[in-house]
Structure 1
Amino acid sequence: MRFLYTLFLLVPIWDVFSQTDDSNFVQKDSLLYISQQPSKGFFNDYILFIPKDTPLNKKIVLLVEPNNTGKTSDTIEVHKRSAEDLATKSSVGNNIATLLKIPLLVPVFPRPTAEALMYTHALDRDVILEQTPIYKRLDLQLLAMIKDAKKILEMNKIVVDEKVFMNGFSASGTFVNRFSFIHPEIIKALAIGGFNGELMLPLNTMNATILNYPIGISDFHNLFSKPFNVKSYRTIQQFVYMGKLDENDAVQFDDAYSKSEQKIINQNIGATVYQRFLKCQDIYKSQSLHPIFKSYEDVGHWTTSEMNLEIAKFFFKILHSKITSQ
């Protein structure tokens, strides 16, 4: 969806939303670029898109979609431009935000060529273990961005629920899936697709093989200083989809998974994308986890207008149900 937009940099917040005192809605599409604020817990910038006709003084839900540049670069401007495109025109997330009239947050996380095996945009194991401030615990940085964005919105009469919607496709879908395991209490609903067929599993072992993050939860407490909260995880409404022709298989590449992780996945979950998708469904159901799983005929590693509409309807139904904090 293409439209003209304005990028606001360090302008008075009350000028951004172009609203009059007697208006019940935001008057035009607005884009905020918020610079990193280490004192608030985030060492990277983020983008906040507020679509025209977003309601004021009415509880809605903030949508979050992690950025996915699709390549490495040591130039942050490359990732910034990609995130701006995602926020304004080239993502399922922008489509959802525009149709549902809800704000969209997109982080501007780097994905460095100098550290090519650290797949930041998929929240892989390497980045979870990283200690450099800009990369350290991107999940916590995203939480801090969400907290900051809520304050900005609420200062301007845009009231959002305590929990968020999350959306992602390809690497960002993998990011959302893993993030949902770490912080299930913050998510009301999520939709993900194009994620190589391999979901994070709520298992410590499989076929006598230990499943560490990001495959399973065996070392979850050691990494995150808390147990996996399966009770909170079960409250997340999920739409998980895959094109039957999707052969975009990051599992076979070292930047996404280590050699040992690749072996575990290929031998225990499946050697192809669609095999894994089916196996993961069985595993989730066996653990009393019941996302909506959907396969699309004649679709590869992309989304169609039909898929985009179905995802939007999924969030629309939840948005317009009674919004209560669980």
Structure 2
Amino acid sequence: MGIIEFITKLFKRKEYEALPEVNKKPPIYDDLKELGQEIEKQTNLNGLIKDFGQIPELKTQFSGEQIIKIATSFFESLGIKENINVDTTIKHGDIRYLFQAIRQVTQRLSKIETNDQYIKVAPKCMEKILEKYLKNLSDTELKEFNLNRKNLQEDILLIHIIEAIKLKDNLKGPNDINMKSIIGKLYSTKFEEICNRDKLNQKGRFRLLLQTISAIKAGQKNILETDKNNLIHLKSLGDGVIQDTKNNINQYRLNKKLIEITRKIEIGQDFKENIFGHTIFINLAQGLPFILTIPDNIDNNSTLIMESNNLASSNNQELFKQGLEISRSLLEVSNDRNPILVPILSNVENEPYWQQLSLDCIENDSQIPHRILETIEKSKKIIKDEKGIEVNNKIFLNGYSSSGVFAQRLALIYPEIIDTACIGGASGSIPIPDSRLDYPLGIKNYEELFQKPFDMDAYKNINFEYYVGSLESYVKSNRNGTIAPMHDMSYFAISVPTEIGKQQRELFGDEMFERAKKTVETLKEQGVKINHKILYNCIHNDSEAEKYNKENPGIPIVTGVKEERDKIIKTALRAMKERQKNKEKEEKNIPN
């Protein structure tokens, strides 16, 4: 459903005669009560408060001057230059007072009648636009506003949870007084859902809000009817709130657990935790640090999914936080059926690029690949000891950007252990079994480095799924002006030695997409099973998408690859599962 169609249905004109009789309780109130019960059942908000005690206080404190400065800057970013007039006598304190100021200005500018049931929809939708604005503030802007990014993000998260609790309480007894707040919360959540679905940037969100305001003012709307369309719509609104609340609660629980985990990490001993109903093992004492997540409903004959971290940091707290986020993301795309392994590799300045298994890594520590292999075997043993399940011999190897480079190189070193390699954002450095190129792009020095011959048959058995945004090489040069397309590792000596990268480009082309195409064609000629998908109108990540859209106004909205990436991973997992089923049938001599 498109935006205009949604808005039309959302605020469809109703005849005055459809209003309920005076003093007669609208039937929709009973449906709203049921919605409140469903929200509590699905999100367990009461359990959240019971688990963690009282919701902590909001950390960021705003002075009156700060509120006026931020609010003015925010509205100006939307193109509103006049009549902002933030109330100079507004109360100040935590982030709720900033939101209050934004709501007041929005309500005044919208000119919606105060007795309209939808009076709070536009101000609440504007809050959603403000949240994105705050999350995207640069370090310079944060310093100018005297804000702390971490505290700000935590406060926004807590605001969502506090509002969900308030909505749940209001839905216990819907009435004429709280109805406007209920409608505002329900529709603003749907507004955010549409913005995310249609990948709207800041100005696109504002245009949608203006359409919404126009629709509200166009005529009489009446949600207090119980016709079939409104009931279906109410369910859609409720589902949106439930999913949004679940996401915020999960992030809140994760943040709380991270504090506990960080304390234990500092001790340096192995331990296990339970997060989101899954058992998580943290390995620290011996070998390579790693996170192993075992879902409670793990399938028999499941496959271990592995993705390394790719954060440019040596800070353990940051590395393990990203590792847990990787685990959660992979659990979602695999429907909580497969164990997830995340080896933790730091990125230390003036040390080899461990996160990409660069040539320097192998030359400095020839055992690093073996320690990664030990991590996989140790994880399989933990799964068997904990669940009594033996996972498949081969793994599903996933990676994006630096972890994608890690995946393509691990596949070169240990092709015999990998069923599928799903790799994104690393198309400039696809390895090829070519004796003209040294590792990490070829196999000329392979035996010398790894003390074994390259197993071409095993490599041809891997199912490679490559993908990259069509604007991956948008940034053409580095800060010094030297030609070095961002995310094309062929040009970065820390990942690919200069001479090897130069030789690769001479053989397959200077431009990344041209080189990737020729490399993939050559691999297919060698019998390697490889697909390479280019994602139209996508760039490396969301932050680069924001920058691109600012530099190129008026063109179709550009986005990061996350949504498409999840689809590709899901498809690759389904294909792997289907191959495994067919193999089982063949082994049992059962015809397809």
TM over 0.5: yes
SS of the residue corresponding to residue 341 of structure 2 reads strand
Q: Any stretches of 5+ residues in structure 2 without a counterpart?
A: 1-246, 474-486, 542-560, 588-592
Change (3 A) 1:11 1:222: closer
1:288, distance to aligned residue in structure 2 (A): 1.5
Q: Percent identity?
A: 25
Alpha-carbon distance in 2 for matches of 1:194, 1:36: 33
SS of the residue corresponding to residue 156 of structure 1 reads helix
Contact residue 170 and residue 196 of structure 1 kept, 8 A: no
Per-residue CA distance 1:36-64 (angstroms, 9 max, x = gap): 41xxxx2x210012235323xx1111101
Q: Does the alignment pair 1:253 with 2:497?
A: no
1:114 corresponding residue in structure 2: 350
Over alpha carbons, which structure has the higher Rg?
Answer: 2
SS of the residue corresponding to residue 314 of structure 1 reads helix
Contact residue 461 and residue 528 of structure 2 kept, 8 A: no
SS of the residue corresponding to residue 580 of structure 2 reads coil
1:319, distance to aligned residue in structure 2 (A): 2.2
After TM superposition, the structure 1 = structure 2 runs for residues 153-192 of structure 1, keeping only pairs within 5 Å, are 153-157=383-387, 158-192=389-423
Alpha-carbon distance in 2 for matches of 1:225, 1:113: 29
Alpha-carbon distance in 2 for matches of 1:36, 1:273: 41
Q: Does the alignment pair 1:284 with 2:523?
A: yes
Equivalent of 1:88 in 306, 328, 342: 328
2:580 corresponding residue in structure 1: 322
After TM superposition, the structure 1 = structure 2 runs for residues 13-92 of structure 1, keeping only pairs within 5 Å, are 28-37=277-286, 42=287, 44-55=288-299, 58-69=300-311, 71-73=312-314, 75-89=315-329
2:65 corresponding residue in structure 1: none
Q: Does the alignment pair 1:193 with 2:424?
A: yes
Over the residues paired in the alignment, what is the CA RMSD in angstroms?
2.6
1:262 corresponding residue in structure 2: 501
Per-residue CA distance 1:171-230 (angstroms, 9 max, x = gap): 11111111111111111111001004221111102xxxxx11111101111111111101
Contact residue 307 and residue 398 of structure 2 kept, 8 A: yes
1:100, distance to aligned residue in structure 2 (A): 5.1
1:21 corresponding residue in structure 2: none
1:306, distance to aligned residue in structure 2 (A): 3.1
SS of the residue corresponding to residue 68 of structure 1 reads coil
1:321, distance to aligned residue in structure 2 (A): 4.1
Amino acid of the residue matched to residue 198 of structure 1? S
SS of the residue corresponding to residue 295 of structure 1 reads strand
Q: Does the alignment pair 1:228 with 2:472?
A: no
Change (3 A) 1:179 1:318: same
Alpha-carbon distance in 1 for matches of 2:521, 2:429: 12
Equivalent of 2:362 in 113, 119, 128: 128
Q: Runs of at least 4 residues of structure 1 off by over 4 A?
A: 5-13, 323-326
1:102 corresponding residue in structure 2: 338
Contact residue 197 and residue 275 of structure 1 kept, 8 A: no
Alpha-carbon distance in 2 for matches of 1:78, 1:114: 19
Contact residue 28 and residue 53 of structure 1 kept, 8 A: no
1:22 corresponding residue in structure 2: none
Per-residue CA distance 1:65-105 (angstroms, 9 max, x = gap): 01111x244x444433332332234xxx34434x2521100
Q: Any stretches of 5+ residues in structure 1 without a counterpart?
A: 19-26, 206-210
1:114, distance to aligned residue in structure 2 (A): 3.2
Alpha-carbon distance in 1 for matches of 2:510, 2:331: 33
Alpha-carbon distance in 2 for matches of 1:271, 1:190: 25
Change (3 A) 1:321 1:212: closer
Change (3 A) 1:148 1:83: same
Alpha-carbon distance in 2 for matches of 1:267, 1:108: 35
Change (3 A) 1:278 1:308: same
1:217 corresponding residue in structure 2: 443
Alpha-carbon distance in 1 for matches of 2:379, 2:319: 20
Change (3 A) 1:11 1:144: closer
Contact residue 184 and residue 229 of structure 1 kept, 8 A: yes
Q: Which has the higher contact order (CA 8 A, sep 6+)?
A: 1
Please, what TM-score do these two structures have when normalized by structure 1?
Answer: 0.81
Please, what TM-score do these two structures have when normalized by structure 2?
Answer: 0.46
Contact residue 64 and residue 106 of structure 1 kept, 8 A: yes
Q: Does the alignment pair 1:146 with 2:376?
A: yes
Alpha-carbon distance in 1 for matches of 2:358, 2:310: 13
Contact residue 439 and residue 445 of structure 2 kept, 8 A: yes
Alpha-carbon distance in 2 for matches of 1:223, 1:140: 12
